[in-house]
Amino acid sequence: MRIDRTRLHDTALAGVVAAASVTLLALYDPLWPPVAGLRPADGAGFALAAAAAVPVAWRRGRPLAALCAALVPETLLAVAGYGAGVPGLAGLVLLYSVASHRGLAMALGALLVSMSAYACGALAGPVRVTAWTDHVVVAVVLTAVWGAGRSLRLRRAYLEELKDRAARLERAHAADTRAARAEERSRIARELHDVVAHHVSVMIVQAAAARRVLASDPELAGEALSAIEHTGRTAMAEMRTIVGVLRADARAELGPQPGVHDLPALVEQMREAGLPVLLRVEGEPRPLPAGVDLAAYRLVQEGLTNSLRHAGPGAAAVVTVRHRPCELDVRVEDDGTGGTGPSTSPATGQGHGLVGIRERVALYGGILSIGPRPGGGFEVRARFPLKDGQ
């Protein structure tokens, strides 16, 4: 059986208040200056003093009702002449309880009831207090006890608000962390797809070329196999760099991300894979934001990879990079047939690679257009807005 410790503590407090009230009543006559009409303490007085302390046991559950119940025997003590109407300990404890556990309206009502009970006992009792300062002292004591209770309640509410705010901040931080992790997973997935799709596509084309000339021209087939080996090593190095970011137990050796300045090497790699590519750079090159620089490179990489896989034999591609004052214009176009592949449809611009390109371009506020050219072939174009000075 579970023990209600709160009720147990309040019951013990009621016993302490009862003992203290009876003791003070017994010492009231010897300690207080002689006052006309003061009745000596007896059994009835002790019973009333003890009865006033009983409601303290319910001070948390129904403090205002307990205060009213305690004020009845305390008022009777004053009316019977056992004291000069001075508030008892039980009334002070219960007034403090109402102020610290209930709202402002109920707390003000409790203060009014306490002062009214004191005034009633002081006016109706046979003992008369001639000094008005005594009444002021009682009013100050009652107000101070009430104020202490209100201060405790406000402090408790402030601490609860701080706890609630800390909990909200913790939940917001957890949500931000989950969102950041999801965004990072999406970014890494895009990077892995772009790296793997590009290099594997190049390796497939080179392997097919090596197979066709293996019997007739072994030297050319060996060159194709060497190109496959080099492409595979490059792919492994890039994937190791990306996956290294995910490892928490080791520091990855990170190199700079590719950008527009790496396009000549990319174009040369595609030429070796069998796709004739022409690179055009217009305007004055200038430093680009890291995200835009990488997105432009990946767009060209994905566009050339799709041209290599789907443009058909004999197709050529043109990469155009235009540096404008407030815009970077990147275009990849080919003159092929635009056949569909298993994972990417140039006709519709769908597929994991081009979907990833759409996400990259949208992330930096760019405009992407993917589709067939009017004169034949296929085009992938993106325009990235740039701020002044970038």
- Give DSSP secondary structure letters for 129-148: ---HHHHHHHHHHHHHHHHH
| Three-class SS state of 174 | helix
**Six token digits for residue 27:** 């010492």
Structurally, the chain folds into a number of domains equal to 2
d(CA 241, CA 71): 79
Coil, helix or strand for 254? coil
Pseudo-torsion of CA 3, 5, 8, 10, nearest 10°? Answer: -150
pLDDT computed for residue 241 by the predictor: 66
pLDDT value at position 321?
95
Contacts of 343 (CB under 8 A, 6+ apart): 197, 351, 352, 353
Q: 230 in a domain, yes or no?
A: no
**Contacts with 86 (C-beta within 8 Å, 6 or more apart), sequence order:** 78, 138
Separation CA 199–CA 305 (nearest Å): 9
Return d(Cα 210, Cα 220) in angstroms, integer: 7
Within-domain flag for 326: yes
What is the C-alpha to C-alpha distance for residues 344 and 378, in angstroms, rounded to an integer?
13
Contact between 63 and 98 under an 8 Å Cβ cutoff? The reply is yes
pLDDT at residue 287, as a whole number: 87
Considering 105, 130, 155, which residue would you say is the last residue of a domain? 130
Domain holding 320, by residue range, is 275-390
Tokens of 65: 């009702």
Q: How far is CA 359 from the centre of its chain?
A: 25
User: What CATH number is given to the structural domain containing 372?
Assistant: 3.30.565.10
Q: Which among 291, 341, 290, 331 is positioned nearest to 311, based on CA atoms?
A: 341
Residue pair 55/94 in contact (Cβ under 8 Å)? The answer is yes
Is 119 part of a structural domain of the chain? yes
Residue that terminates a domain, selected from 79, 106, 130? 130
State residue 2's pLDDT score.
53
3-class state of residue 127 by DSSP? coil
0.85 surpassed by pTM:
no
Q: How far apart are CA 106 and CA 320, in angstroms?
A: 78
At residue 144, what is the residue type? A
What is the 8-class DSSP label of residue 242?
H
How many whole angstroms from its chain centre is CA 280? Answer: 47
Q: Is residue 373 part of a domain?
A: yes
Token pair for residue 135? 């009444």
Asked whether residue 163 is assigned to any structural domain, the reply reads no
- What is the model's pLDDT at position 177? 79
Mean pLDDT by 10 residues, the chain (390 residues): 72 88 76 64 86 89 90 86 70 92 91 89 70 82 93 92 91 83 70 71 78 79 79 74 57 67 90 88 88 89 86 88 92 77 42 72 89 88 80
170 by Cβ neighbours in 10 Å (0-12 / 13-18 / 19+) ranks as exposed
- Last-in-domain residue among 98, 130, 162: 130
Residue 377 lies in a domain: yes
Q: Cα separation of 22 and 68, whole Å?
A: 20
Return the pLDDT at 184.
64
Q: Could you give phi then psi for residue 32, rounded to 5 degrees?
A: -80, 140
